[in-house]
Amino acid sequence: SGNDFSLYHSSLLLRRIARRMGLHHAGSVPDYARYLGTNPQEVDLLFKEMLIGMTRFFRDPAVWDYLLEQALPALLAAYPDGKRLRAWVPACSTGEEAFSLAIAFKETLARVKPAGRFSLEIIATDLDTDAIDRAKRGLFSGSIATDVSPERLRRFFVADGGNYRVANEIRDMIVFARQNIAMDAPLAKLDIVTCRNLLIYFGPDLQRRLIPLFHHSLNRGGLLLLGLAETIGGFKDLFSMLDSRTPLYRRIESASGVAPALPVASPWTRGALLAVPKEANPQFNLRLQADRFLLRNFTPAAVLVNHDGDILYLNGCTEKYLEPAAGKSNWNVHAMARDGLRHALAIALSKAIWQQIAVTVTDLAVMQNDGEVQTASFTIMAIDEPGAPGKLLMIVFGDIAAPESGTSAGLHDQSGRTQPAGAHDDIQVTHSGRAPATREGATDGI
């Protein structure tokens, strides 16, 4: 299926595998493995077996009561001039949690009546494409009346035969997308993360990785909502508990400098923190600053370099743009840049350093290993942080696409720069089950 479940609780995996083995009367794991090798349909069914799809509207009412009465009003009060808030609902299944959050936000606005103007965009993700498709339809059976009050049904749903369809004002607040939280790039610039009853299915290593990731994904003072059986574990320096009776936490600034392990696809670039120059300030955490910068702005293939082009940090799959130089090992971006990038990269780096501006280069013809010529783009931005070991620059590469005839490279600065293709395409999203999202914010900074 292309998905790695090795970080899930082993007991969960064994139970699900044993169930499928029993259905096919497989006498041993090797027998079942051979069956999987010759039956692609069974691979899909086993994948479905591993997914957790248990969800309800307004699950654990006391949690939602506290969110409505205390946490959401406090979040609004932190921005007296108003704000466009962002929320992430990982493992959203068929959407009940995301729709519940949207309804709670609307109810909070109606009750508090803040002076500033507020909106909420919710990005709801899940590994199960079938569940995502159902969520985008926003159609639920009449049984939801058990969990949704008559007032909410009247105000936020439309009767559709014996079913209920989510009203457009609620559905349009949510972007649904497929994402593997254990492997794919995280979201950033968030005010709310609600990840309920997912961590309990993960092993301790993945649990320890996700809590710092949520911390980096959230803005200062952002809210983290977990399941009743879940906690932040030993990360009390990252979050403070808002109420002892509910698993609701507020992000706090951490002095420990814990950096999340960003999920990346390439084995040779996986979180590669390379040699730091000897003159570097030991108090400056290169990985922490690189991760923070990428989480706030991008999550594509990128490299952190010094003013000489020495590579200090790699993120994501960079093989399309960089390759090891022949001969003696040389971790310098000028030496590793592929043909078609090298000359433009040198000019752009010099421009970014001496003019102190962000520089974007587009429509570059880049030679690949198979001899094909494809197009690429990149953006260079300076990282201006106290204590940094000299001038640091982040090079963010755009997606490579088939070249268009007659195109030529273009160099742009801040006065009229063009965003590199794919710089914000962290996850492919579709808005509310209709055409691919193109409105502002649907993919910007996800």
- DSSP codes of every residue in 226-294: E-TT---TT-TTTEEEEETTEEEEEE---SS--------S-GGGTT-B-PPPTTS-TTS-HHHHHHHHH
Instruction: Look at residue 375 and tell me if it is in a domain.
Output: yes
Instruction: Look at residue 4 and tell me if it is in a domain.
Output: no
pLDDT per residue as tens digits for the range 33-47: 887 788 888 777 776
Q: Which CA distances in Å does 443 have to 154, 174, 422, 430? A: 32, 12, 10, 10
For residue 156, the surrounding DSSP H or E stretch is helix 150-156
- Please indicate, yes or no, whether residues 180 and 206 belong to a single structural domain of this protein: yes
Instruction: Look at residue 328 and tell me if it is in a domain.
Output: yes
- Please indicate, yes or no, whether residues 37 and 136 belong to a single structural domain of this protein: no
d(CA 296, CA 81): 22
CB 393 within 8 A of CB 304: yes
- DSSP sequence for 62-80: HHHHHIIIIIHHHHHHT-T
- Please indicate, yes or no, whether residues 243 and 113 belong to a single structural domain of this protein: yes
- Please indicate, yes or no, whether residues 124 and 184 belong to a single structural domain of this protein: yes
Q: Phi/psi at 261 (nearest 5 deg)?
A: -85, 105
For residue 315, the surrounding DSSP H or E stretch is strand 311-315
d(CA 355, CA 95): 48
- Please indicate, yes or no, whether residues 300 and 377 belong to a single structural domain of this protein: yes
Beta strands in 53-173 (DSSP E): 82-89, 117-126, 139-141, 157-160, 163-166
pLDDT per residue as tens digits for the range 326-377: 655 567 888 888 888 888 898 899 888 887 888 888 888 888 777 778 788 8
- Please indicate, yes or no, whether residues 177 and 110 belong to a single structural domain of this protein: yes
- Please indicate, yes or no, whether residues 334 and 411 belong to a single structural domain of this protein: yes
CATH number for position 217: 3.40.50.150
Q: Which of residues 251, 284, 303 is at a domain's end?
A: 251
Q: Which of residues 184, 217, 251 is at a domain's end?
A: 251
- Please indicate, yes or no, whether residues 41 and 167 belong to a single structural domain of this protein: no
Instruction: Look at residue 146 and tell me if it is in a domain.
Output: yes
- Total number of domains in the chain: 3
- Please indicate, yes or no, whether residues 423 and 389 belong to a single structural domain of this protein: yes
* CB within 8 Å of 52: residues ≥ 6 apart: 91, 93, 197, 198, 201
Q: Which of residues 217, 251, 285 is at a domain's end?
A: 251
Pair of tokens at residue 163: 């079913």
- Name the residue type at position 418: T
Residue 40 three-state SS: helix
- Please indicate, yes or no, whether residues 332 and 425 belong to a single structural domain of this protein: yes
DSSP code at position 162: T
pLDDT per residue as tens digits for the range 71-94: 999 999 999 999 999 999 998 989
d(CA 332, CA 345): 12
Q: Which CA distances in Å does 428 have to 5, 416, 425, 435? A: 22, 27, 7, 12
Pair of tokens at residue 28: 């041993």
Instruction: Look at residue 437 and tell me if it is in a domain.
Output: no
Instruction: Look at residue 378 and tell me if it is in a domain.
Output: yes
Instruction: Look at residue 440 and tell me if it is in a domain.
Output: no
CB 286 within 8 A of CB 303: no
User: For residue 225, which of 370, 349, 87 has the smallest C-alpha distance?
Assistant: 87
CB 411 within 8 A of CB 361: yes
Domain limits for position 356? 267-431
- Please indicate, yes or no, whether residues 151 and 72 belong to a single structural domain of this protein: yes
Bridge partners (DSSP) listed for residue 380: 359, 395
Instruction: Look at residue 339 and tell me if it is in a domain.
Output: yes
- Please indicate, yes or no, whether residues 36 and 73 belong to a single structural domain of this protein: no
> pLDDT of the chain along its 446 residues, tens only?
455 565 566 666 677 777 778 887 887 888 878 877 888 887 777 766 666 667 889 999 999 999 999 999 999 999 999 999 999 999 898 999 999 999 999 999 999 999 999 999 999 988 888 889 999 999 999 999 999 999 999 999 999 989 999 999 999 999 898 888 777 767 778 999 998 887 777 777 777 888 888 998 899 999 999 988 888 888 888 999 998 889 999 999 865 555 455 444 333 233 333 433 444 444 455 655 665 555 555 457 788 888 888 888 777 677 788 887 665 556 788 888 888 888 889 889 988 888 788 888 888 888 877 777 878 889 999 887 666 666 789 999 886 555 444 444 455 444 444 433 333 333 333 333 333 332 223 323 34
Q: Which CA distances in Å does 297 have to 42, 285, 349? A: 40, 18, 19
